[in-house]
Structure 1
Amino acid sequence: MTPAELAAVQAHLRRLLGNDKIKLSTPQRKNASVELFVGSEFVGTVHRDTEDGEVSYAIQIVVLAEDLSQIN
């Protein structure tokens, strides 16, 4: 993703989800997935897809079982 795409997707997610702590981070390795954070917490990845000339972005969110026990 280009820096402009990264900024646009981040701004959209912040508006959509109502959370200014959402941050997208460019990975250190080339061609790796963009990382999605809420504050300092890694929550998933963002993938860019181009099909039939149209661009879309898919988010994969990770929920660890160990994190679920912290709710109670």
Structure 2
Amino acid sequence: MLKHYIKTTEALKQLRKDQDGVVSFEYIIVAAAVITVVIGFFAGTGSTSLTAALTAAVGKVTTAIALPL
């Protein structure tokens, strides 16, 4: 029984020191946050959304190009 306790204790100590997957988990969290922000900008409604601003900018460029020189 003592042998199993020692093996389990050593395995838990090893697991606590293991840092291999921490960095990739942090990247996943950052990627999820970035995706959420981007979706929030493009899915917004009203005149303050990014989609509305881009549409207005493209409209102004189109109007400027269509004007005769």
What TM-score does the superposition give when structure 1 sets the normalisation length?
0.23
More strand per residue: 1
More helix per residue: 2
What TM-score does the superposition give when structure 2 sets the normalisation length?
0.24
**Larger relative contact order (Cα-Cα within 8 Å, sequence gap ≥ 6):** 1
